[in-house]
Amino acid sequence: MIVVLALVLGVVAGLLLGPTAPDWLDPYLPVAVVAAVDAALGAARAGVEGTFDDREFVVSFASDVAIAVLLVLLGELVGFGGALSTAVVVVLGIRIFASATALRRALLSER
Could you give the dihedral angle defined by the CA atoms of residues 28, 32, 35 and 40, in that order, rounded to the nearest 10 degrees? -170
pLDDT of residue 38: 92
What does the alpha-carbon distance between residue 94 and residue 71 come to, in Å, rounded to a whole number? 17
CA distances, 52 to each of 24, 38, 45 (Å): 35, 15, 8
- Domain boundaries along the sequence of the chain: 22-109
Query: pLDDT tens track of the chain, all 111 residues?
Result: 787 898 899 999 999 998 888 999 888 888 999 999 999 899 888 888 889 888 999 999 999 999 999 999 998 898 887 888 888 899 999 999 999 999 888 888 865
pLDDT of residue 70: 92
pLDDT of residue 110: 63
pLDDT of residue 111: 58
